[in-house]
Chains A and B, each alone.
Chain A
Amino acid sequence: MSPGCLLSLALAAMVAGTCCAPRWTRLWLGCTVAATLLTLGAAISVLAGGPWEWHGAFPIGGELPHLRADGLSAFFLVLLSVIGLAGTVYSSEYWSPKKHPGSAYPGRVWWNLLLLFMGLVLLCSNGLHFLIGWELFTLCAYFLITRERHLPAVRRAGWLYLAASHASALCLFAFFAAIAARTGSWDLGPLRDHLELAPLFWLALIGFGLKAGLFPLHIWLPSAHANAPTHVSALLSGVAIKMGIYGLMRFSGWIPTPADAGWVVATLGVASAVLGVAFALGQHDLKRLLAYHSVENIGIILIGLGFAMMASRAGQPGWGRLAMAGALLHVWNHGLFKALLFLGAGSVLHATGTRRMSELGGLWRAMPWTAASFALGAVAISGLPPLNGFVSEWLVYLGLFGAVDGLGPGSAAAVPAAILLAVTGAMALACFVKVVGVVFLGTPRTLRAEKAVECGWFMRSPMLLLGGACILIGLAPALFWPALQSAIAAWEPGWAMDVAPAPLLSLGIWNVGFALAAALAATLLLRRVRRNGIARAGTWDCGFAAPTARMQYTAGSFAGIITEWFAWILQPSRHADKITHPFPSRAAFREHTPETVLEKVVEPSAGMVMALSSAMRRLQHGRLQFYILYLVFGLIALALLAFWGGAP
């Protein structure tokens, strides 16, 4: 079947699912799953068979609809449908009407609409309709984030998200309006010969960058991801912030970019990657921590994109192709493993009712499926072989190494970028050792953690699906080269290459070998354990006679050394009661890492704007005489302007 046919069937299924959502759970589930599968089919047929285009006959908002699915939009459409599928199935148990009677049904409607409008944004090839879709998907996400709006923290997060999204939409309005004004039409398409459009890229960078959550525009991201229902967090982190990346890739491919755009994007990418993971290390809230890892991974994607843009300007497809492939594949990979991690965190939240890591612990025994899939996601996000995170990061590394050789004067910048990328990977590993160690290993710290039970199959199967995809991309990366190739060709037509690059093929073989070796080692270890049995003994307690579970190593102390390095930007606040007497007394220690950019930069400047506006309000006091005086002053100013302002 043609992509158009599949997409219209998917639309019909999605609309039917949306209509069923308020009443019939099974019908809703069936229709939505069918819609995501049909969309997946359409996207794959575009990736395999070439672009698809459709022109509507009836104008919407004065413009004829124009849909276009080329390699790049199909690439993102695959991600949307896979994460949408996983999230839909997961939410049917996680956010069930039994547990959330008031909010489950409307939540399903918003969920379906969010999926629908994100798909629309990916397909729209008309600036006006793109903006409409963008605005609608932003609003749907807002209603999903604020599902639990009786909590003040959720309301605050929702407002922040809405404000940031509208700042982003403002830039995009300016961006598309400027394009339309220059080209005389809202219709979008490759405009590579309109060199005068290049400065508009900065507007796109702010607009799409705010959505993507690159540092320092990420202020809305942690609180929104932490406070949304978990399946929504997974979709937001897996797909919604990728819409910003899609916009950046789409328009850096379609319109010319300024000469130093690649440098700026790569620099922002490095900053996001390193600082994102540093902030993640300082977090004690499981979902907030994962949210900061989104900032980090967006940074990795932007490093790849930035160097690909430099390569495109320098005309060196050899390594540019690898950097772009790395960025694109990391879009998929981050979507997959971050959704997996969020779903795992959601299961923990579902079972224990808390996101605070200091109240968890020892969950591996109670929730083996969740723990195993979360650990798999943790390995993937840390960029360890043989999983998918390593593949895409390796491609980015190869691009950077190529840049060292190829990019004459700028090659010096590729070396620090590569080093900082490695630092990021190491810190991400440290962070996930901390998370898995504190949440799943050890003994339960509280009664809640002790009473946890494993989630049901509706929640388990999406995690298994996503984990399977992570393993598949890790072991057979060359299998996905045609998709990457199609997306790269849509970005830079001259760079198409049918055969997978040699490093990707050999990496696949290495990864399979590595996996086999790991499996062999695990079997041997298991055998030994079976043969010898496990000896259980108490932890060495330093001579203290009454240890409790709360005395286990905490997340804060584990990350202490690294957060100390980044104290200049993390600005952690610590409250400790010092014991001054020789005998023990009550003591407490609290540590909190604020959202520095928001609390130290954005809020004070917003406060200044507020103070200024309240001062301006004093001009409106209701005294008629002074209003007339304003008029007089205005007239005098105009007269002076006419006298000296060079009236024609």
Chain B
Amino acid sequence: MTDAINLLVGLALGANLLALGSSRLPSIIRAAAIQGIVLGVIPLLLKPEFHWLVALVSIGTIAIKGFVIPALLLRALRAANIAREEHPLLGFIPSLLIGASATVGAVILAGHLPLLPEHRGLLLVPGALATLVSGLVLLVGRTKAISQVCGYLILENGIYLFGLLLIRGTPLIVEAGILLDLTVAIFVIGIIVDRIQREFDSLDTGKLTSLHE
């Protein structure tokens, strides 16, 4: 079981690097979608016995993070008719390097953290930290609003991974609530993206600086 979970977390980490290294918006969205699907499967494997609520949340996560949100974002991309090339603040190679070193750092740090014995073999904690950092790098290093939404999604995935540690402690209904929030947030951001596009003819958030007062 542990090996399967670690494999999935590894896949999620790969999706991080994919998102950090790609220059085109649709591939970033797809990387986030893949990560969402992979992470949606993990709760099923964490609990030895089957529980219908876990299954429900798992299916919901896969559906929303893997299909609904990416579809929304791709639609916004088409509707807003924006250039699909990214002009990053932080280059792709430096982003990748930061992402990779964050992954290494997260593994080292997790070794020093006072974890519960049953979590020691899992990659959940380093995976969560590395995903958090990758999400932040995307948020900070990219200028297009869509890619920032993806950064936000990946950041949330990191938090979700961390939350899985507590799957025995917290009711899944909390995770379900977070998922709902996320969907609504993405929905709202989709609308805002549309508005920004109409107002500024661009989705470059750098052009919003004139609103800073």
Residues of A within 8 A of B (CB): 620-626, 628-629, 632
Q: Evaluate contact between A623 and B206: CB separation under 8 angstroms.
A: yes
Q: A623-B206, A624-B148, A624-B205 are in contact. Are A629 and B140 (CB under 8 A)?
A: yes
Q: How far is the CB of B144 from chain A (nearest CB, A)?
A: 11
Measured between C-beta atoms, what is the minimum distance from B198 to chain A in Å?
19
B212: interface (CB < 8 Å) = yes
Q: Which residues of B contact A621 (CB under 8 A)?
A: 209, 212
Q: Annotate B188-213 by CB proximity to A: 1 below 8 A, 0 otherwise.
A: 00000000000000000110111110
Give every chain B residue within 8 A of A628 (Cβ-Cβ). Answer: 136, 139-140
Not counting A624-B205, A625-B140, a sample of 9 additional A-B residue pairs whose C-beta atoms are within 8 angstroms of each other reads A620-B212, A621-B209, A622-B209, A622-B210, A622-B211, A625-B139, A628-B140, A629-B140, A632-B136
How long is the Cα–Cα vector from A531 to B148 in the complex, in angstroms?
Answer: 105
- Residue with the greatest number of chain B CB neighbours at <10 A, chosen from A622, A625, A626, A628: A625
Which residues of the other chain, A, contact B211 by a CB distance below 8 angstroms?
Answer: 622
A-B pairs with beta carbons under 8 Å apart, 23 shown = A620-B212, A621-B209, A621-B212, A622-B208, A622-B209, A622-B210, A622-B212, A623-B209, A624-B148, A625-B89, A625-B140, A625-B141, A625-B142, A625-B143, A625-B148, A625-B205, A626-B140, A628-B136, A628-B139, A628-B140, A629-B140, A632-B136, A632-B140
7 A-B pairs closest in CB distance = A622-B212, A622-B209, A625-B140, A628-B139, A629-B140, A624-B205, A628-B140
Q: In chain A, what residue has the closest Cβ to B90?
A: A625
A623 to B211 alpha-carbon distance, docked (Å): 10
Please give, as numbers and ranges, the residues of chain B lying within 8 Å of A623 by CB-CB distance: 205-206, 209
Q: With the chains together, A644 CA to B78 CA distance in Å? A: 49
Q: How far is A625 from B141 in the complex, measured between Cα atoms in Å? A: 7
State the main secondary structure of chain A at its contact with B.
helix
In the bound complex, what is the Cα–Cα distance between A419 and B117 (angstroms)? 82
| Bound-complex Cα distance A629 to B136 (A) | 8
User: Using Cβ atoms and an 8 Å threshold, which residues of chain A touch B148?
Assistant: 624-625
B205: chain A residues at CB < 8 Å are 623-625
Bound-state Cα–Cα, A632 to B134, Å: 12
Q: Is the CB of B89 within 8 A of A624?
A: no
Which A residues are CB-close (under 8 A) to B212?
620-622
Q: How far apart are B95's CB and chain A's nearest CB, in angstroms?
A: 13
Please give, as numbers and ranges, the residues of chain A lying within 8 Å of B136 by CB-CB distance. 628, 632
Number of interface residues of B (CB under 8 A): 15
CB distance from B136 to the nearest CB of A (A): 6
A282-B190 Cα distance, complex, nearest whole Å: 71
Complex: A621 Cα to B139 Cα, angstroms: 17
Report the tally of A-B residue pairs with Cβ distances under 8 A: 29
Cα A625 to Cα B148 with chains together (Å)? 9
Give every chain B residue within 8 A of A625 (Cβ-Cβ).
89, 139-143, 148, 205
A454 and B46 alpha carbons, distance in the complex (Å): 102
Which chain A residue shows the least CB distance to B151? A628
Chain B residue numbers with a CB within 8 Å of A622 are 208-212
Nearest chain B CB to A635 CB, angstrom units: 9
The residues in B between 56 and 96 inclusive whose CB is less than 8 angstroms from any CB of A are 89
A623, B210: Cα distance in complex, Å = 10
- Nearest CB in chain A: distance from B94 CB, A: 14
CB-defined contacts of A629 to chain B, threshold 8 Å: 140
> B155: nearest residue on chain A (CB-CB)?
A628
Chain A neighbourhood of B143, CB < 8 A: 625
CB closest chain-B residue, reference A631: B136
- CB nearest neighbor in A for B206: A623
Pick the most buried of A621, A624, A629, A632: most chain B CB atoms within 10 A of its CB: A624
CB distance from B86 to the nearest CB of A (A): 13
C-alpha gap A285/B68 in the complex (Å): 80
**In the assembled complex, which residues on chain A have CB atoms less than 8 Å from the CB atom of B141?**
625
B6 → chain A closest CB, angstroms = 25
In the assembled complex, the Cα of A624 lies from the Cα of B210 at a distance in Å of: 12
Q: Which residue of B lies closest to A632 (CB)?
A: B136
Chain B 144-171 against A: per-residue CB contact (8 Å), 1 yes, 0 no?
0000100000000000000000000000
Residue of B nearest to A624 (CB): B205
B-side contacts of A620, CB under 8 Å: 212
Chain A nearest Cβ from B14, distance in angstroms: 23
Once the chains are docked, how many angstroms separate the CA of A161 from the CA of B51?
Answer: 73
Nearest CB to that of A623 among chain B residues? B209
- How far, in Å, is A637 (CB) from chain B's closest CB? 15
Residues from chain B with Cβ under 8 Å of A626 in the complex: 140
For the complex, what is the distance from the CA of A623 to the CA of B206, rounded to whole Å?
Answer: 6
Complex CA–CA separation, A328 to B90 (angstroms): 72
Of listed B140, B142, B143, B211, residue having the most chain A CB within 10 A: B140
Separation in Å of the A627 CB from the closest CB of chain B?
Answer: 9
CB of B68, distance to nearest CB on chain A (Å)? 25
Of chain B, the residue at the smallest CB distance from A620 is B212
Closest to A625 in B: B140
Residues on A with C-beta less than 8 A from B142 are 625
**B81–chain A nearest beta-carbon distance, Å:** 22
A625 to B137, CA, bound (A): 9
Q: How far is the CB of B112 from chain A (nearest CB, A)?
A: 10
Can you name the residue of chain A whose Cβ is closest to the Cβ of B141?
A: A625
Binary CB contact string for chain B from 19 to 56 against chain A (1 if under 8 A, 0 otherwise): 00000000000000000000000000000000000000
Closest Cβ neighbor of A635 among chain B residues: B136
Give Cα distance in the complex from A626 to B136, angstroms.
11
Chain B residues contacting A624 (CB-CB under 8 Å) are 148, 205, 208
C-alpha spacing A622/B210, complex, angstroms = 7
Q: Please give, as numbers and ranges, the residues of chain A lying within 8 Å of B140 by CB-CB distance.
A: 625-626, 628-629, 632
CA distance A620 to B211 in the complex (A): 11
Cα–Cα distance between A632 and B140 once the two chains are bound (Å): 10
For B206, list chain A residues within 8 Å (CB): 623
Bound-state CA distance A623–B205 (Å) is 7
CA distance A625 to B147 in the complex (A): 12
Q: Kindly list chain A residues whose C-beta atoms are within 8 Å of the C-beta of B210.
A: 622
A632 to B137 alpha-carbon distance, docked (Å): 10
Who on chain A is nearest to B211 by CB?
A622
Minimum distance in angstroms from B70 CB to a CB of chain A? 22
For residue B142, which residue of chain A has the nearest CB? A625
Least CB distance from B203 to A in Å reads 12
How far apart are the CA atoms of A182 and B60 in the complex, in Å?
A: 58
Q: CA A348 – CA B162 in complex, angstroms?
A: 82
Q: How far is the CB of B111 from chain A (nearest CB, A)?
A: 15
Bound-state Cα–Cα, A624 to B149, Å: 12
Residue of A nearest to B139 (CB): A628
